[in-house]
Structure 1
Amino acid sequence: MANYDRREHLKAIHASRKALTYQKVDEVIKRLIRANGSINFNSVANEAGVAKAILYNHPELRERIETLRQQQAQAPTAKQIKREMNESNKDALIESLKRRIKKLEEENKQLREQLKVAYAEVYKKL
């Protein structure tokens, strides 16, 4: 017991708790990135089970969360992407539909001709 140093023991406990907190926060951030979840101080703190103050008081964690939050804010949402696709692809879509209509009209015309021939054959048999 003579070699026991309380300060060193407390420093070791503090370091292990800090490492565990960093690990939990890191896992939560990775999970939120994979799930396309919202990354902010509230969501990370709630998911990791730590206080927001811990996230704010550790510069590395704070900087990482702020960076990821900023990246998510700049990334377009699914609605924005769809709207942009609709605007940029509108002309191509119209042309594609016009070609399809033309093809269907031609097919319809051929079927009407075949029907006329079939009616004529039936009429001859009578």
Structure 2
Amino acid sequence: MYALKLIRDIKKFTLENYDVLKKPIYGDYPGLKAVVFMSRTLSSHAINGGAGDRDLDQTIAIKDGEWIKMEFEAEISGIGAPFKLTKEREDVLSDEDVEAYLNASDTPIGEVVQFFKKYTELRKQFENNIPKIDVFYGKI
């Protein structure tokens, strides 16, 4: 329950400051702005005889008032070529879904660390307007 409260607190705070906090999610693609809490590359493959790359990336963020999980497939056709998105998928997550994701045994610890790092950065940036995380006692 404590983790769920933190997730709800950070969502509320992020929504109150969304216009200041949102940033491009993937390059400079218009409309792809959000406040990213976790991201990772799910797969990466060489294409065009090794001259290019195709990556599948996942991002969990707050966008347009909701938690979202986005998957992007991005392709770079060759050395020095610009990347382009070849596929994009977006799913809405509830606060409970985010908690379950953070607690899942297959969620890399690095993503959990990213979430708490972002939480702490926002807390410092906005002069402690978000509750402090108390990992030992679960008290606020």
- TM (norm. structure 1) is 0.26
Bigger Cα Rg:
1
Q: Which has the higher contact order (CA 8 A, sep 6+)?
A: 2
Choose between structure 1 and 2: higher strand proportion: 2
TM-score (norm 2): 0.24
